[in-house]
Amino acid sequence: MKKAATVLGILAGALTLACSTLTTAVDYDHTVNWSQFHTFQLAGGTKDPLTFTQKRIEDAITSTLTSKGWQAVTTNPDILVYTHTVLGQQKQWNATSMGGGWGYRGWGGMGGMTTATETNIPIGTLVVDLVNPKTNELSWRGTASDQISASGAEQGQIQDAVAALFKNFPPAPGTK
């Protein structure tokens, strides 16, 4: 019985990981010398409609950048951090076959019926722009998209998305 519970636990964990839909992309100006930047300031952008979600985004970014040796400031930052959230939906189609069994025509055979249902899956996208305030030019952009809940309870997803975006930040000199 213990062995069966362990196997079920491993399967449940594997299925949870397999269901992750987080996708990320990062691009940056390869001519920028990132060692010149040490401070940042959170700026405007397109804020999330839920203030506590926006706060979680800003807290995750602040925590991540400070863990990389950067300092949050309120004046004269080396980099301005703009966040943009985009909420949308993705259509998912599910087909269900019923009846028929294995017939001479393959699955479904004669008399089988297939129905398709459409489901709208809520998708959240976070865009993080790092802008050099001296030149007003975009220096770095990261995007993360994932399926979200209708309730807005994505605190862990926000932290995972920000961690994935800034995993290799700041870019090493000469990396492409």
pLDDT per residue over 112-163, tens digit each? 677 777 777 768 899 999 999 999 999 999 999 988 776 655 667 899 999 9
The residue behind tokens 């980099």 is 79
Supply the angle between the helices 155-165 and 51-67 in degrees, to the nearest 10.
Answer: 40
pLDDT per residue over 51-93, tens digit each?
888 999 999 999 999 999 999 999 999 999 999 998 776 666 7
Per-residue pLDDT at 165 exceeds 70 = yes
Per-residue pLDDT at 107 exceeds 60 = no
Per-residue pLDDT at 20 exceeds 90 = no
pLDDT of residue 153: 58
Per-residue pLDDT at 2 exceeds 80 = no
**pTM of the complete model beyond 0.85:** no
CA–CA dist 35, 6 (Å, integer): 48
Sign of the CA dihedral 149, 154, 160, 162? positive
DSSP E strand boundaries for 78-161: 79-98, 102-103, 106-107, 113-132, 137-147
The residue behind tokens 């950067």 is 70
pLDDT of residue 14: 34
Task: Give the residue with greater pLDDT, 19 vs 16.
Answer: 19
Going by their DSSP bridges, the two strands 71-72 and 39-46 should be labelled as parallel
Go through the domains of the chain in sequence order and give each one's CATH number. 20-165 (3.30.160.670)
